Amino acid sequence: MGQTVGMSAPSSRRPGRPIGGQLVIDRDHVLDAAERVIKRDGPGASLEAVAVEAGVTKPIVYDRVGGRAELADALAERLSDRMLEATEDAIAGETLNQASLSRLVRANLLAVAEHRELFLYVTGGTTEQTAIGRLSLAERSTTPLAKTLAVWRKSQGQDPKVADAWSFAIVGMLQMISVWWITQPERAVDEVAAQISDLMWNGLQGPRK
């Protein structure tokens, strides 16, 4: 449940605090503030800056969300939901084929580009934090993809048990491609999406002649 923080006189109030009244501080309030700070300051944004933006003290940030790793994990959930929505919209009602794979890759890349600093924050940091952020992004994305792959494999008369492993492989590939692509401004999104969908659909051997 959200708690309230009393407001002091204007001369002593922290930056970002409204004058007068009370500010309800809950987890979403802190996460919203964190997103604004990360968008402004980049992936190196500090917890102190998040606290200032939220109009609270740093201990309240720890109480509502946690430290750097917990904040990255919570923001990874938000980001993965947005990326999942973007990819689902891109292939809604489509059968699984190379063209739909290309649209899925393209939608994923564009979602990362839209939330570039947040993506880098979630997947950056220490080794442990990086693993947590990437796993959170992957786990929330793989379930619907695995279901799609299982249905498709069954329709092809093939073993659907590979769906879980394949879905993690695809999502992991997309994460690393995204990290690379956002540093390559000269690479057109359609070009990269076509190249990756060709790899996923036809494999390293390429299409059969």
Domains of the chain, by residue range, sit at 3-64, 68-202
C-alpha–C-alpha distance, residues 132 and 47, integer Å: 18
Taking only the tens place, the pLDDT of each residue in 91-105 is 777 778 899 889 989
With a cut of 70, say whether residue 4 has pLDDT above it.
Answer: no
pLDDT band for position 9 (cuts 50, 70, 90) = very low
pLDDT at 64: 92
Taking only the tens place, the pLDDT of each residue in 13-64 is 444 444 445 556 789 999 999 999 999 999 889 999 999 999 999 999 999 9
Check: CB of residue 76 under 8 Å from CB of residue 65.
no
What single-letter amino acid sits at 99? A
Superfamily of domain 68-202: Tetracycline Repressor, domain 2 (1.10.357.10)
Mean pLDDT value across the chain = 82
With a cut of 80, say whether residue 209 has pLDDT above it.
Answer: no
Return contacts of 164-167, CB within 8 angstroms, 24+ apart. 167/141, 167/142, 167/143
Q: Which residues pair with 23 in a beta bridge?
A: 5
Level-2 CATH architecture, domain 3-64? Orthogonal Bundle (1.10)
Q: What's the whole-model pTM score?
A: 0.76
